[in-house]
Structure 1
Amino acid sequence: MTIGTAGFTAALCVKAMEDTGFNKSKPILVTGADGGVGSVAVYLLAQKGFQVAACAPEGTRFKDTEPRLKKLGATEVIGALSTDSKALDEERWGGAIDVVGGPTIPTIASQMAYGCSIASCGVAGGPAIKTTVYPFIIRGVKLYGVDSVFAPTVPGLECALLTKDVRQEVWTDLAKVPTAIWQGMRTEVALVDLHQAASQILAGSIRGRVVVNVNLKTPQLTAVEKEEEDLEALKKKCLELRKSLTAKSKIVSADQAMSTILDGDCVTSAGFVATMPCDALISALRKRYDKTGHPRNLEMVFPIIVGDREGRGTEPITPMVSKAIFGWTDVCPAFTNAVLSGKIEAYNLPMGQISHMIRSSANGVPGHLSKVGLHTFADPRNGGGKRNKQTTKDVVKIQELEGEDCSGPAWHPEQKPTNALGPSWSNMSAVELPELPENREYIFYPAPKITVALLRGSLADEAGNISFEREPLLLDSLNQAMAAKNNGGLVVVQVQRVVPVGSLDHRRVHIPGMLVDMVVVANSKEHAAVTYAAADEEYDPTLSGELKPLQAAQMEELPWEGPRNACQKRVMAHRALFEVKKPKAVLNFGVGSPEFVATMMASHGHQNPDLKGFMATVESGVWGGVPQGGLRFGTSTGFEAIVPTSTMMDFYVGGGIDYAFLGVGEADACGNVNVSNFAGRVPGVGGFADISANAKTLIFTATLTCGNLVTKVEDGKLIIVQEGSIQKFKKKHLGP
């Protein structure tokens, strides 16, 4: 019987806590969370909408304890509780279910919120309790003992909680638990395994409940032992295959390459919005996962995801991922939904800082310091980029440098960024900015230990040298390859074809062959377009620079009429180009309506004399030309130069942008702007924080409302036919 006494006891504990006092604004603590009672309690509490802190001491954990408990619904997984507690401590818990007893109860009681209760049902830590009465008298804490044997059928007992209906109520709750959840909480053994199973229970090396199947006639390995044995065998097999595949040649099939990725690998991949997808590699990886269930528990690190909003790109990896550090994901809805639902431990950080984190991983340093993200949602005091309740650990931290003003290039009092929306220029600011000359605070962004890089190039030679001659961007490809290589990992590059050694133009080789472990030649379908926006074309040479487009002066002027709501973006774009007051200015254009500004400058720029000699740039690494919009965002036609993303971000963060044209998701009366998490969407911050923190002048182009907004142009005037249903500008202060 899978549910057994453990499941019944857990349900009684939840019922007792609910009936005797809890505070839903604080987490509910569950001790012994990896055991039979604890794991059921975690699931039941999560299903009732509680925040759950699952306590599983490090020494008793299995390899998958934390992801397994989070899958059950735990919002955080903590280690052992201190047994050296004060009589009264900080009010930390809104309720507790304790299966340990002994020295844990005084600690829990001292940390309980006022009026809340502890449901106690175990003595694994011993029966003795040494505590004071202060939590019970001063805070009204209640200690409620749960008995699953007699309760609630004791004759003559009068108690509002212990009624015959309680038993029916808790079994009703248990009946709602899916079968798959129970199967993941049990270890099935035969009768002949009982002695070994008992030893493992006492040693704390067996998870959940043990079910004795009397129909099993032969000894069984416990599920935990078998799983760990299988995983070790799989890891060994993958590593041996990785070595044998590259013994004679670096040229392998996509299936072969993807069969060598390990569970738990830290993966970084190429791509920018819809540009430079690695479809051959991603498709093969997903095919392997669908067939075998591996790899799993991957960690993904990428500045910008690649996709087409229809399931292509990086999106097929989603079910394999347990943790992600990302800048922007708006073109992969399934991935974004996994973040929103808490299936992935998710951190959204500024794109430029992730690019530099990858660089730190490549050069072997612990991480880097930056002022980008201070006083925004990326600041650890404001959440540190965590994007759901299941994400609890901090990946970034505040570090203060001593000595004279260490503010760096991001802080120029005489060049403080101008914000048309108000005095506070930092997106999603939640605290008052300190005086600039006194500021010595930085955010420390740690280097991830990248072990797999999945990349894309144009051509490869037989030695693995990768040419980018037909690619529109360089991105972080070189740093990603160096990071995986220097961490002893795997570098796989998808290309269109392979040529003999010595036949590549060495000036177009961006990734040296010594960094590349495997080269996969993709078929025409999986390597057809450099961007999904050009999926109907085999190759668009204007994006790679092989073919120069029409000069800006020859471009057809944008019409005012067009698709629904295109007109207001054109009106805004035309007005915005006159905000540039400095010749030879360096410009940046954000996602959305700012994309129209770039095109408008190419066609109407001659109307503003101060635009003479301007330089359009894109955070992906493009200098000059006409920045593209939509799924082509990040690329440019007629560009003058392309540099790696991390290099462009060095220039941006150093204060190199004169004017940045940015969009608005929502804004408040103080001028705080949010583009990363609004209206039930989590597109991510992208390069917004890197750019807005350091550009000399910010120009926002946005409508006041959105959602079914309808406009038109008549007689040279913009007319609102139907106002949008969503107000972008809020009176209420935007929180982090």
Structure 2
Amino acid sequence: MKQVLAGLREGAVTAVSGAGGGLLEPEEVLRCFEEAFLQGGQPRGITLVHTLGMGDRQDKGINRFAHEGMVKRVIGGHWIWSPRMLALAQHNKLEAYCMPSGALTHLLREIGAGRPGLFTHVGLGTFVDPRHQGGRCNEAAQEELVELMQIDGQDVLRYRPFKVDVAVIRGTYADENGNISAVEEPADLDSYAVALAAKRCGGIVIAQVREVVPVGKLRPREVSVPGNLVDFVLPCPDQPQTYHGRYDVSLAGLGESQPEATHPPERDPVRHAVALRAAEELIDGASVNFGFGMSSGVAEVIARRGDASRYWFTIEQGVHGGRLLTGDMFGIAANPAAILSAAEQFDLYSGGGLDQTFLGMAEMDAEGNVNVSHFGGQISGPGGFIDISQGAQKVVFCGSFDAKGTRLTVADGALTIQRHGEVRKLVKKVAGITFSGKEAVRRGQEVIYVTERAVFRLTPEGLELTDIAPGVDLERDILSRMDFKPIVRAPRLMNAAYFCEPADAAGPAA
């Protein structure tokens, strides 16, 4: 591996497949990249491409590349798993670009197919749109990677293709012909698209696997990347399934695991109230997606109620069905019903095949725009948020009304605000547009914004306040704490059951 890396040209474009928490992350190959740079100064000036967040928030994953001089440019879908890379971006030590994960996955597929970039509606009206930031996330990023075009009288974005010199992927097995199987992994992600892009550009493909097996050992349908696309295989017998350790076949759908006997009630009153109110928006029989953070509380409500059979769960990593895991294991499900490639999953989302989604909300503004990607001068990246939120027929955002120092209590069916937060989240203009309210109105989407003290709905006339929490004062606790005035007609009271001690209430059935 040292000889391979030493031979890479300066500025090599390196695309890596993987996702946060160690999901399909080729950690040993990435460690070799880091070691080669620290010991010999090569490879350097890399353009690093990753469609999903990768790492452990400390040393692994994309953190391996976070050395000044090693990387010149990063085009990433999600950044929060690598605080060291974020620091380099903030200080303009590299060119930082953020792209929607699905659009970036599809762009790699288009590069692999030799087509002239990706033409899509995904990203219109957001910070990726060149009328805003064009995906550029710091001053060092100057090149236009996305352009606005019109096709048949409709605005579209063209994500411009680039050359890929190196692809780094991972599987469970490789046979002696180089066929790669991810059969025991919880997802396939974009391994095939990444490998195809490198081979189309005359580059190399490096695959990390747990084991090399004889030819004929792998069943054809278990092969995710065929051997003619693979140049180098690095066996790692101690390869863990995730950063949490050993292989659990139930996460790959190869064996049953029993669901947890109980789902402990949410102890945080804000998250508890938001999850229960948001769960009112569930549609029986819907194909549903859940995002990371507060919105995942809706999935926990469903699990506690035992209602999972009423909905079809999907997550952007390509998983359908199963018991969704949370925290650092987000993106994985035990006992999944199906595992598709990330490209296929994002095709579903982009094409409008998602009935509804529940997503987080860091900021919202008067136009119904939502920010989850720009915070205090730093970037986190959208992940699949843009692809999902623009494709779903119904979008429910979940977040706290304000932040930093907020003190709330719930008791006897009412919310009491003991101290307002120092940071307002309902602002005149969001720091970065990750979801465009204007585009949502144009598309005819249904959009709901749920906080613990107020609920809003997007209308063609603007944001309407539809619900307030029992115990709060409309003027004192809501309107005076916002930087804009919503439409107020006749808001209803939220269900008092949502404002009992969390241990006492799972909420009424949806």
Deviations 1:178-224 (A, max 9, x none): xxxxxxxxxxxxxxxxxxxxxxxxxxxxxxxxxxxxxxxxxxxxxxx
Structure 1, gaps ≥5 residues long: 1-253, 403-438
Instruction: Tell me how far apart the structure 2 counterparts of residues 463 and 480 of structure 1 sit (CA, whole Å).
Output: 19
Q: Does residue 592 in structure 1 map to residue 293 in structure 2?
A: yes
- Percent identity between the two aligned chains: 35
Instruction: Tell me how far apart the structure 2 counterparts of residues 519 and 735 of structure 1 sit (CA, whole Å).
Output: 41
Aligned match of 1:573 in 275, 278, 292? 275
Aligned match of 1:678 in 363, 368, 375? 375
* Match in the other structure for 1:470: 184
Q: Are the counterparts in 2 of residues 672 and 734 from structure 1 also a CA contact under 8 Å?
A: no
* Match in the other structure for 1:255: 2
Tell which structure's C-alpha radius of gyration is larger.
Answer: 1
Q: For the structure 1 residues 718 and 470, does the alpha-carbon distance in structure 2 shift closer, same or farther, using more than 3 Å as the test?
A: farther
Deviation at 1:540, TM superposition (A): 2.8
- Higher relative contact order structure (alpha carbons within 8 Å, sequence separation ≥ 6): 2
* Match in the other structure for 2:15: 268
Q: For the structure 1 residues 323 and 735, does the alpha-carbon distance in structure 2 shift closer, same or farther, using more than 3 Å as the test?
A: closer
Secondary structure of the equivalent of 2:357?
A: strand
Instruction: Tell me how far apart the structure 1 counterparts of residues 249 and 41 of structure 2 sit (CA, whole Å).
Output: 40
Q: Are the counterparts in 2 of residues 577 and 605 from structure 1 also a CA contact under 8 Å?
A: no
* Match in the other structure for 1:642: 339
Instruction: Tell me how far apart the structure 2 counterparts of residues 621 and 568 of structure 1 sit (CA, whole Å).
Output: 30
Instruction: Tell me how far apart the structure 1 counterparts of residues 53 and 356 of structure 2 sit (CA, whole Å).
Output: 26
Query: Counterpart of 1:347 in structure 2: which amino acid?
Result: Y
Q: For the structure 1 residues 335 and 734, does the alpha-carbon distance in structure 2 shift closer, same or farther, using more than 3 Å as the test?
A: closer
Secondary structure of the equivalent of 1:690?
A: helix
Secondary structure of the equivalent of 1:699?
A: strand
Instruction: Tell me how far apart the structure 2 counterparts of residues 330 and 485 of structure 1 sit (CA, whole Å).
Output: 29
Give 1 or 2: higher strand fraction: 2
Deviations 1:299-346 (A, max 9, x none): 112211311111211211123110121111111001111112111112
Give 1 or 2: higher helix fraction: 1
Q: TM-score, normalised by structure 2?
A: 0.80
Q: Does residue 602 in structure 1 map to residue 281 in structure 2?
A: no
Secondary structure of the equivalent of 1:510?
A: strand
Instruction: Tell me how far apart the structure 2 counterparts of residues 733 and 477 of structure 1 sit (CA, whole Å).
Output: 34
Alignment of 1:121-270 (within 5 A): 254-270=1-17
Q: Are the counterparts in 2 of residues 595 and 627 from structure 1 also a CA contact under 8 Å?
A: no
Instruction: Tell me how far apart the structure 2 counterparts of residues 488 and 716 of structure 1 sit (CA, whole Å).
Output: 64
Instruction: Tell me how far apart the structure 2 counterparts of residues 628 and 392 of structure 1 sit (CA, whole Å).
Output: 39
Q: Are the counterparts in 2 of residues 257 and 492 from structure 1 also a CA contact under 8 Å?
A: no
Structure 2, gaps ≥5 residues long: 434-510
Q: Are the counterparts in 1 of residues 364 and 426 from structure 2 also a CA contact under 8 Å?
A: yes
Deviation at 1:496, TM superposition (A): 0.9
Query: Counterpart of 1:531 in structure 2: which amino acid?
Result: T
* Match in the other structure for 1:232: none
Q: Are the counterparts in 2 of residues 271 and 475 from structure 1 also a CA contact under 8 Å?
A: yes
Deviation at 1:708, TM superposition (A): 4.0
* Match in the other structure for 1:289: 37
Deviations 1:384-420 (A, max 9, x none): 0111112112111111124xxxxxxxxxxxxxxxxxx
Q: For the structure 1 residues 720 and 446, does the alpha-carbon distance in structure 2 shift closer, same or farther, using more than 3 Å as the test?
A: same
Aligned match of 1:661 in 341, 351, 358? 358
* Match in the other structure for 1:447: 161
Deviation at 1:718, TM superposition (A): 5.3
Alignment of 1:352-363 (within 5 A): 352-363=102-113
Q: Does residue 397 in structure 1 map to residue 98 in structure 2?
A: no
* Match in the other structure for 1:486: 200
Q: Are the counterparts in 1 of residues 269 and 410 from structure 2 also a CA contact under 8 Å?
A: yes
Instruction: Tell me how far apart the structure 2 counterparts of residues 338 and 733 of structure 1 sit (CA, whole Å).
Output: 24
Q: For the structure 1 residues 517 and 720, does the alpha-carbon distance in structure 2 shift closer, same or farther, using more than 3 Å as the test?
A: farther
When the two structures are aligned, how many residues end up with a matched partner? 430
* Match in the other structure for 2:490: none
Q: Are the counterparts in 2 of residues 670 and 733 from structure 1 also a CA contact under 8 Å?
A: no
Q: Are the counterparts in 1 of residues 373 and 432 from structure 2 also a CA contact under 8 Å?
A: no
* Match in the other structure for 1:335: 85
Instruction: Tell me how far apart the structure 2 counterparts of residues 720 and 497 of structure 1 sit (CA, whole Å).
Output: 57
Deviation at 1:547, TM superposition (A): 3.0
Q: For the structure 1 residues 707 and 371, does the alpha-carbon distance in structure 2 shift closer, same or farther, using more than 3 Å as the test?
A: same
Secondary structure of the equivalent of 2:162?
A: coil
Deviation at 1:716, TM superposition (A): 5.7
Aligned match of 2:242 in 523, 531, 538? 531
Q: TM-score, normalised by structure 1?
A: 0.56
Q: For the structure 1 residues 602 and 260, does the alpha-carbon distance in structure 2 shift closer, same or farther, using more than 3 Å as the test?
A: farther
